[in-house]
């Protein structure tokens, strides 16, 4: 979300790598510099791969009391794997920006000895050694960081081959892949226990839930405009929030009615987008495409795209460059900031600028 990073290849279509060839639509292509292509691919992953409706987040729920922990400690991660920590980890490697943010919100930033080249928050993590470059895990660098705990990203964001290689080298690898807000809460709790700070995790989750509830309550009686979130337009394919995805659930919580694409890839056909007729377009790729950087430029760009002039939001100018894409698509503790930003964009009358 997003945000995470990874290279897009047009050859695979499964949920863990939804990078499909163009669908035959002739459109103005977003021309990304090579450094941004991996980043946008991760946004597509987070927008597309989602949860079943039965696991939709319940923001008002009360968190359970955090138990005390003692070591040795055995934990089960989001991939169903168990790891045993003999002692509280003193050195941690993170293979995804969201994992890094979880470690830092729990007060353990100083324990990080390896991160990715896309890690940018908090700012001090930029000086930590890069063990993932352009979405590729460098096993030698991970080993050189001498971690007591490695935090991988699931669903293919960290490749299964890399996870197996690191595990075979004797490293304790914990995989995190939250599919909704409740999943983010669970992962913060899981990392909190692994780092021996379950009370800090509990207080973090409680604060997040309170902020989510405030948004949910504020939009409860508001109209729900049909909202299209543009993740990217790449090689002729339009990517948005996938059906039942993390991003779609956030748009719903923020008071919108999400226009969704394919559940696996997040791709949407132009004719389906026109038929859905969104009342509001949020351009999550505005931070990476200068032709979308300002509202006048964005409106001009979208009106020049074949067929887009038929869409209500484009006709009325309800097109917004959305510059909070990173916190909206990165499933870590700042995801609440993303929810709040979405709510402001969808209902500016309720939240103000």
The first and second tokens of residue 335, run together, are 């995801």
Q: What is the mean pLDDT of residues 168-178?
A: 97
pLDDT of residue 48: 63
The upper half-sphere exposure of residue 239, i.e. CA atoms within 13 Å in the direction of its Cβ, equals: 31
Asked if the model's pLDDT at residue 14 lies above 50, the reply is no
The Cα–Cα gap between 68 and 199 comes to 8
Copy the structure tokens of residue 302.
Answer: 């979208």
Domains and CATH numbers, the chain: 37-57+222-351 (3.40.50.1980), 73-216 (3.40.50.1980)
pLDDT > 90: percent of the chain: 77
127 or 67: which carries more pLDDT confidence?
127
| Mean pLDDT estimate for the chain | 86
pLDDT at 234 exceeding the cut of 80: yes
Contact 96, 6 (CB under 8 A): no
Q: Is the pLDDT of residue 194 over 90?
A: yes
Residues in the chain: 353
Contacts 24+ apart (CB under 8 A), 336-342: 336/208, 336/211, 336/212, 338/1, 338/250, 339/211, 339/212, 339/215, 339/250, 339/253, 339/254, 340/211, 340/215, 342/250, 342/251, 342/253, 342/254, 342/256, 342/282
- The rounded distance, in Å, linking the Cα atoms of 119 and 99 is 10
Q: What is the pLDDT of residue 79?
A: 96
Beta carbons of 281 and 313 less than 8 angstroms apart: yes
* DSSP assignments along 118-162, one per residue: T--SSGGGGGS-EEEETTEE-HHHHHHT--SEEEEETTTTS-HHH
- The pTM assigned to this predicted structure is 0.84
Position 304 scores a pLDDT of: 97
Residue 286 has pLDDT above 90, yes or no: yes
For the chain, first and last CA: distance in Å? 23
Asked whether 331 and 246 are in contact (CB, 8 A), the reply is yes
Least confident of 14-18, 172-176, 226-230: 14-18
Find the mean pLDDT for residues 213-221: 98
The C-alpha atoms of residue 169 and residue 164 are separated, in whole angstroms, by 9
pLDDT recorded at residue 40: 54
Q: Sort 282 into a burial class: Cβ within 10 Å, 0-12 / 13-18 / 19+.
A: buried
- Pick from 237, 246, 225: which is nearest to 268 by CA? 237
- What mean pLDDT do residues 18-32 have? 29
Return d(Cα 29, Cα 140) in angstroms, integer. Answer: 37
pLDDT (0 to 100) of residue 50: 53
Give a three-class secondary structure readout of 303-340. Answer: HHCCCHHHCHHHHHCCEEECCCHHHHHCCCCCHHHHHH
Whether residue 325 contacts residue 287, with contact meaning beta carbons closer than 8 Å, is answered with yes
């Amino acid at each position: 979300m997003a945000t995470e990073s990874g290279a897009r290849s047009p050859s695979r279509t499964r949920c863990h790598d939804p990078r499909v060839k163009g669908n035959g639509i002739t459109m103005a292509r977003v021309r990304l510099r090579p450094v941004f292509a991996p980043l946008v691919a991760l946004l597509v992953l987070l927008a597309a791969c989602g949860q079943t409706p039965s696991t939709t987040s319940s923001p008002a729920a009360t968190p359970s009391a955090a138990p005390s922990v003692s070591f040795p400690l055995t934990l089960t991660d989001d991939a169903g794997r168990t790891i045993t920590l003999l002692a509280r980890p003193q050195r941690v490697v993170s293979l995804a920006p969201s994992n890094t943010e979880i470690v830092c919100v729990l007060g353990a930033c100083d324990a990080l000895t390896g991160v990715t080249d896309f890690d940018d928050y908090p700012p001090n993590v930029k000086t930590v050694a890069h063990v993932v470059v352009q979405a590729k895990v460098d096993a030698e660098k991970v080993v050189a960081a001498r971690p007591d705990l490695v935090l991988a990203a699931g669903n293919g964001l960290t490749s299964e081959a890399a996870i197996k290689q690191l595990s075979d080298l004797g490293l304790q690898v914990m995989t995190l892949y939250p599919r909704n807000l409740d999943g983010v809460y669970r992962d913060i709790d899981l990392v909190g226990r692994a780092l021996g700070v379950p009370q800090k995790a509990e207080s973090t989750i409680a604060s997040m839930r309170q902020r989510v509830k405030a948004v949910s309550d504020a939009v409860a009686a508001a109209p729900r405009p049909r909202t299209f979130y543009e993740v990217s337009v790449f090689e002729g394919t339009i990517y948005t929030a996938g059906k039942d995805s993390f991003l779609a659930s956030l748009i719903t919580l923020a008071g919108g009615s999400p226009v969704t694409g394919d559940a696996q890839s997040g791709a949407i056909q132009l004719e389906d987008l026109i038929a859905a007729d969104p009342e509001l377009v949020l351009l999550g790729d505005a931070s990476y495409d200068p032709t979308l950087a300002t509202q006048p430029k964005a409106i001009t760009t979208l009106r020049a795209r074949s067929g887009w002039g038929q869409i209500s939001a484009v006709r009325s100018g309800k097109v917004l460059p959305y510059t909070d894409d990173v916190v909206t698509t990165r499933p870590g503790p700042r995801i609440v900031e993303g929810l709040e930003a979405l709510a402001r964009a969808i209902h500016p009358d309720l939240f103000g600028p």
